[in-house]
Structure 1
Amino acid sequence: MANKLKKGTIAGIILVLILVITAAIIIPKLYVKFIKENTNVEQKTYLYIPTGANFDQVRDSIAKHNLLIDSSSFYGLAKDRDYGSKIKPGKYPFKKGMNNREILNMLVAGNQEPVAISFRNVRLKNNLAGMVSKKLEFDSATLVTLLDSAEFVKSYGFNTDNIYTMFIPNSYEMYWNITAQDFFIRMNKEYTKFWDTDRLKKAADLQLTPQEVTILASIVDSEALMDKEMPTIAGLYLNRLNNGIKLEADPTVIFANNDFTIRRVLNRHLTKDSPYNTYRNKGLPPGPITMPSINAIDAVLSPEKHNYIYMCAKEDFSGYHNFATNLSEHTANARRFQQALNERNIKK
């Protein structure tokens, strides 16, 4: 009996030792695999996973940016969870203190961080495409191709000349891997939201479409260095439109000549044969000459009521304008400004 007890005690001790040894081996491994910090970053760093990326590409990108302290423990857990078949594209933040479980949960669930996109005062749609593509996955050519597709933009009520009026300057959040088409759709939704009942009514009262309002606003924005002058300038151009007078807006001439270094519009610039040259053509140009600010759009929708049909930059270079109701007064204003340009040796 004593021998049996003794043997039982020994067996129990051996079992305990085995459990202790096993625990001593397994628990540290489990700690490293699931709990221990494993991001090799001091501040938030992003992992970009392209659309269609495979496991090897993800691993190469992680290695390239040295995001992990212990890559073997991470890839061991990734294999256990079959991450290779669950890869989701996107922009993923690696933060100090994250462990393997947190990293994989983020990647498997596709919990990416949105990208902040902001655009204002962008002159051309090519410029917009280039700016946006620097922050999103798709390339600029893909977006430009969409904007230049007559069939595609027509389905949204635009043409290839006025499609740029759809983009409302503001700040937006979206995911990095959004497609060019989905980006377009998102911007169209923002456009529809912007043109609410109140703005649509104001445009209708002016007998202008939203696209025409934005085209005129692009001219107003290009003329006005001071926002407070925008309603006055908008009223002036509306007076000219309503009276069948050519707009004769210098910024449209600069756009038509495709030379944005011009500081002084000369007679040779006015002869440019272009639908954007409002010295040669009556009415609005076919599209905007820049992306107008919201302030400029609202200035057109709520213009100042007056009888001005002429304007000229003030000779003090303050950024403000002298306005006139008749040609003789305007000629005097223009002469003073031209003299000021000559005194400063501004010839072109």
Structure 2
Amino acid sequence: MSRKVLRRLGAVVLLLVAVAAAAGFWAWQRYQGFADRPLSSLRPDSQLLVERGDSLPTVLRKLRGLGVSEGHQAEWRVLARELGAAGRLQVGEYALSPGMSPRDVLLAMRDGRVVRYAFTILPGRNIRELRAALARAEPLEQEIAGLDDAALMAALGQAGQHPEGRFLPETYHYTRGDSDLDLLRRAHAAMGRALDEAWVARNPDSVLETPDQMLTLASIVEKETGIAEERARIAGVFERRLKIGMKLQTDPTVIYGLGAAYDGNIRRRDLETDTPYNTYTRAGLPPTPIAMPGVDALQAVARPDDGDALYFVALGDGSGRHAFSRTLAEHNAAVARYLQRYRQARAAERAATAAQATGTGPDAP
């Protein structure tokens, strides 16, 4: 082969190498641009659901369904391998936004950064109210709707246990696919831990004989006050009453015993009608808790305040606080002051309503 032919062949080879290098550089630049370019075609507030068994091509089809037009399947595959996401896409629901890049999307699925929802069990709520709130929680899957309380506790592995008070009030996070039963299982375990801690920390001379009694008394304290610094004082009043055999005489237990019959008002006949939960007619604690007590109520019952008060009544000034008394005479005087404030407040409300009705009130035109 002549030198001339060799030179031409060499030139062709060099040209092909240059073309290949240019093509490779162009492909690399295009790939890099694809990997980090925001997904402008993605619809706002999109949710991608990765289900068990979904492969990368399946997920890519779902992304196309959400409006994603960037990149070809080959580019997504290469990027997935580069990020270590291939074959490691975690099941769950992902929140996507147009500002995200393909790299962001794959990293989110690789690391399982799924959408998390929150459900809060409020202190003082009873099991009926808790079940109603769970039924409204979305997208929590519903498994307990057809279960009565006994079947519910059996499903939680707690057959024979009364459900009242057994679920710790706090905020629980969950993901799509979780169920109300899953959440209750966690809340039950959390209450078990909180009750164990309070029981271990209790006063050595506590009148309470079992953790269940502590849970019941804590539920009453939870219902009696929303003022944090009053919980231990109220727990102390009940502790002293139990020690001397004095009836607890607490309205929340009577209300709980009335159940659905309670219409928002507690009357003298309610206080005099005997039920297992009427602490005006029966001594000692009621048979079960009456609500879900929080950690603070449990700790207050574990370490009640010292003192000699045996009575308390609301101040009636709108603060939610109480007046504490040592003797019945002091308590009756505090009750009289409460009733006076109550009547004055109701009279002021009636006067304001009448003034608005006649057009002379401050909101009149």
- TM-score, scaled relative to structure 1: 0.73
- The aligned amino acid for 2:162 is T
Paired residues in the alignment total: 341
In 2, Cα distance between equivalents of 1:46 and 1:132: 25
Does structure 1 conserve the Cα–Cα contact (< 8 Å) formed by 2:253 and 2:290? yes
Instruction: Tell me by how many angstroms 1:210 deviates.
Output: 2.6
Aligned residue in 2 for 1:247: 248
Residue-by-residue CA offset, 1:134-166 (whole Å, 9 max, x unaligned): 77753355389496426527844871343x33x
Cα 1:211/1:158, change in 2 over 3 Å: farther
Aligned residue in 2 for 1:187: 187
Instruction: Tell me by how many angstroms 1:314 deviates.
Output: 2.4
Aligned residue in 1 for 2:279: 278
1:137-286 superposed matches below 5 A: 137-142=139-144, 145=147, 148-149=150-151, 152=154, 155-156=157-158, 159-162=161-164, 164-165=165-166, 167-171=167-171, 175=175, 177-196=177-196, 199-200=199-200, 202=202, 205-257=206-258, 258=260, 262=264, 265-270=266-271, 274-286=275-287
1:1-348 superposed matches below 5 A: 1-16=2-17, 18-19=19-20, 22-23=23-24, 26-38=27-39, 47=47, 49=49, 68=68, 70-71=69-70, 73=72, 77=76, 88-94=90-96, 98-108=100-110, 110-112=112-114, 118-121=120-123, 123-129=125-131, 137-142=139-144, 145=147, 148-149=150-151, 152=154, 155-156=157-158, 159-162=161-164, 164-165=165-166, 167-171=167-171, 175=175, 177-196=177-196, 199-200=199-200, 202=202, 205-257=206-258, 258=260, 262=264, 265-270=266-271, 274-345=275-346
Cα 1:126/1:12, change in 2 over 3 Å: farther
Deviates more, 1:95-104 or 1:34-43: 34-43
Deviates more, 1:57-66 or 1:183-192: 57-66
- The aligned amino acid for 1:190 is A
The DSSP-based 3-state class of the residue aligned with 1:142 is coil
Does structure 1 conserve the Cα–Cα contact (< 8 Å) formed by 2:60 and 2:73? no
- The aligned amino acid for 1:202 is R
The DSSP-based 3-state class of the residue aligned with 1:331 is helix
- The aligned amino acid for 1:324 is S
Residue-by-residue CA offset, 1:92-116 (whole Å, 9 max, x unaligned): 3547764324422432453436555
In 1, Cα distance between equivalents of 2:70 and 2:281: 67
- The aligned amino acid for 2:141 is D
- The aligned amino acid for 1:142 is I
In 1, Cα distance between equivalents of 2:237 and 2:197: 25
The DSSP-based 3-state class of the residue aligned with 1:112 is coil
Residue-by-residue CA offset, 1:283-342 (whole Å, 9 max, x unaligned): 323433333232222111111233433322225454332333444443333233223322
- TM-score, scaled relative to structure 2: 0.70
The DSSP-based 3-state class of the residue aligned with 1:345 is helix
Does structure 2 conserve the Cα–Cα contact (< 8 Å) formed by 1:50 and 1:90? yes
Instruction: Tell me by how many angstroms 1:42 deviates.
Output: 12
Does structure 1 conserve the Cα–Cα contact (< 8 Å) formed by 2:216 and 2:288? yes
The DSSP-based 3-state class of the residue aligned with 1:216 is helix
Cα 1:318/1:118, change in 2 over 3 Å: closer
Deviates more, 1:248-257 or 1:53-62: 53-62
Cα 1:296/1:253, change in 2 over 3 Å: same
Does structure 2 conserve the Cα–Cα contact (< 8 Å) formed by 1:90 and 1:110? yes
Aligned-residue sequence identity (percent) comes to 22
- The aligned amino acid for 2:126 is L
List alignment gaps of at least 5 residues for structure 2.
350-365
In 2, Cα distance between equivalents of 1:200 and 1:17: 78
